[in-house]
Chain A
Amino acid sequence: MEVEKFSYDNKIVRAFMIATVVFGLVGMLVGLTAAIQLFYPLFNFDLQYTTFGRIRPLHTNAIIFAFVGNAMFAGVYYSLQRLLKARMFSDQLSWIHFWGWQLIILAAAITLPLGYTTSKEYAELEWPIDIAITIIWVVFGWNMIGTIIKRRERHMYVAIWFYISTFVTVAVLHLVNSVEMPVSLFKSYSAYAGVQDALVQWWYGHNAVAFFLTTPFLGIMYYYLPKAANRPVYSYRLSIIHFWSLIFIYIWAGPHHLLYSALPDWAQSLGVVFSIMLIAPSWGGMLNGLMTLRGAWDRVREDPVLKFMVVAITAYGMATLEGPLLSLKNVNAIAHFTDWIVAHVHVGGLGWNGFLIFAILYWMTPRMYNTTLYSTKLANIHFWLGTLGIIFYALPMYVSGVVQSLMWKEFNAEGFLVYKNFLETTVQILPLHGLRAVGGTLYLTGAIIMTYNLIKTANSGSFIADEAAEAAPLTKNFVQHSGGWHNRLLEHKPVLFTVLALVAILIGGIVELVPTFLIKSNVPTLSSVKPYSPLELHGRDIYIREGCVNCHTQMVRPFRSETERYGEYSKAGEYVYDHPFLWGSKRTGPDLHRTNGKYSNTWHFNHMLAPDAVSTGSIMPAYPWLFEQTITKSDTRGKINALRKVGVPYEAGYEDEANADLDKQANEIVATLKADGVEVSADAEIIALIAYLQRLGKDIKGEKTSQLQP
């Protein structure tokens, strides 16, 4: 048979690798800054662009989509070409993908500090960027499927299955979760409200972890681990089971992020059961990885690539055991909203993703430059710094999470909360936050050393832009292997395979989401729950802009410790006009869902201006700009109209009267402040924010009193 000569495109791989390293360093540095802000609030720099609320989404987005995302593309573009014995489908598409993705990252880096955010975790980017992501993602998929179709290797290796499922699922997740109603160029409201929005968001959030941080990297593991260990994967059969059961089960487990919340019980239970079941495929995959190294452990001692991989796979095993355990309701009751969750994601992020990325960077760079690694010693130093970094990060966070949670729940003999003041529990864990920053510094130092090592490696070799290869093309009249109908069905038919993978993830998605969509018309709207007033709406948008949701929840769980501290537990019906929902996932500060009437307007005014002066020891940043900046009243109309379109029952024509109501409510607040000797303009942003904070929990209070009256 005629052998074809062709070449592998290394240039695109190198471009993604450079982006990985650059954004990795930036993302880690931003993360370190955010970590320091939590025990040393001075690092908020008193600037609105650098407060924790805006920096935290910048960190998560930079790490997930810029660092891990670019590494995923580098890993996929390198391995896909070689596994399929074909150059990428189109060089143009490769470069559109590369530059498009970097532009999206740039847009995120600009808009997030400016406060343009949807507030939905890991989906914070506003609608124009969402559209750009969709287009670039399609380009990536088109390029990948195109390459698969013109391949010279008939069988699709399991790594490619993982890549395909990544493409398909992320597309579905992104499209469903990003349905939003634009208000202006950089402002939109989620089409979903309250419980529904929460369920969709955590279905997305959970599966973004699964299909952006996990499946592509399992594909990468299944390719690079055998390469680095120089032996095939331990059990290919196990990898098939791993793949199908993982993609099938993962999608069902999203509701475990919402245990004890106002989410329906059946959905919570479903989330728990499928989370526990997830242990099986995850550990199957981990054992498959570690067993691949059997008989090669002597090489693990010498080869930094293998060292990084072993820790990465171990971290994967730990995180995937811990995840299901955290989804047990009794464990979740302690861990949720605390630093435990932060520790959990960082074992996955620093250990699994980070270390696997370092491993493949160390592995690919010398090969693409036809040389050897500049310094194995430096790589080993990086390995130890990184490992220590993970330990110094995770351990203090575990301790901090448990300590704070137990303090939240501690009652004295008289039946009162021991730590009634939330701040007491915060102060307690600050030293642990300090240790966490040490861990982060170690990890970042390791990454800087790696950067130096990789640059020196590149300089010592010569780059092979187009790596020559040859292989026979696929013959049209392929004779099927006798008895092999099982595999033949899938691996020879990429399009059918893609459709089946899509079906597998859609089944879970549909079962999880459909009932919630059915609820929509059936949620018994609490009669006292009314849409937000125009001023409150402005205040809520400021709350979203400042990223308050990153530290404050709006979800009082039905525990005595919480109802004692905050008040009546949160009901599903209270959120029906919340586009988007603002339940939050972490309590760095107290829950705010029952803020109404707890403090005076003047207290809020002073507290936002100088939190530390009002609550000594508070780590909350000051928000001086809220007192100078004014709300844009001309936006009111657009906000009302957009919300009406997504189902909030503002009366027809209300947009014309809204600003009159707004002024009235603002003047009332200004008057109460004036009575306390505080002068402020009625247009100041702080007035709107106070109006919103005082609204939280107000409706349900009305409900209770009206029920009491016969």
Chain B
Amino acid sequence: MYKNVLQSIDNIEIWPVVSFVIFFIFFLCLLLWVFTADKKIIDRMKMLPMEDSSPEKEKSNSKQ
């Protein structure tokens, strides 16, 4: 029954394939982007949560 519904849409079989290809390309670009990114910026970003406290707060943080 499903097939009857979907045969009326041209080339429906291609949808899952297209989806997968889109994702795969996206993922490759993502990996390329992340692993060629500047290490300094990465390290700077990584430290952001650690440096947002005001000096007095740091003390009380380390107290606990």
Q: Which residues of A contact B (CB under 8 A)?
A: 79, 82-83, 85, 153, 155, 157-159, 222-223, 226-227, 230-233, 236-237, 240-241, 244-245, 248-249, 252, 262, 264-266, 269-270, 273-274, 277, 303, 366-367, 370, 372-373, 467-470, 481, 483-484, 486-488, 491, 504, 507-508, 511, 515, 518-519, 522-524, 571-573
Contacts and interface: CB of A to CB of B under 8 A. Distances in A.
Given A507-B22, A511-B15, A232 B50 contact: yes
B41 A248 contact: no
A642 B4 CA distance: 30
Given A248-B26, A571-B1, A230 B49 contact: no
Interface of B: 1-6, 8-9, 12-13, 15-16, 18-20, 22-23, 26-27, 30-31, 33-38, 40-50, 52-54, 57, 60-64
8 contacts: A82-B52, A83-B49, A223-B49, A240-B34, A372-B64, A487-B38, A511-B18, A522-B8
A153 B22 CA distance: 34
Contact of A157 (B18, B48, B62, B64): B48
B50 A158 contact: no
9 nearest A-B residue pairs (beta carbon): A484-B38, A82-B52, A236-B46, A522-B8, A157-B48, A486-B37, A232-B46, A226-B49, A264-B2
Nearest to A79: B49
A571 B1 CA distance: 8
Nearest to A240: B34
Contacts of A231: 50
A692 B52 CA distance: 61
A418 B46 CA distance: 60
Contacts, number: 141
Contacts of A488: 41
B59 to A, nearest CB: 11
A483 B36 CA distance: 9
Contacts of A481: 38, 40-41
Contacts of A79: 49
B63 to A, nearest CB: 7
A342 to B, nearest CB: 29
Given A236-B46, A518-B9, A522-B8, A511 B19 contact: yes
A83 B48 contact: yes
A469 to B, nearest CB: 5
Nearest to A372: B64
Residue from B6, B20, B60 having most chain A Cβ neighbours under 10 A: B6
Given A266-B16, A483-B38, A232 B5 contact: no
Contacts of A487: 37-38, 41-42, 45
Nearest to B7: A522
Given A155-B41, A367-B57, A511-B19, A230 B62 contact: yes
A227 B34 contact: no
A484 B40 CA distance: 9
Residue from B8, B31, B35, B45 having most chain A Cβ neighbours under 10 A: B45
Contacts of B46: 232-233, 236
Contacts of B23: 248-249, 252, 274, 277
Given A264-B2, A366-B64, A524-B5, 6 more contacts: A157-B48, A227-B50, A262-B2, A468-B54, A487-B42, A487-B45
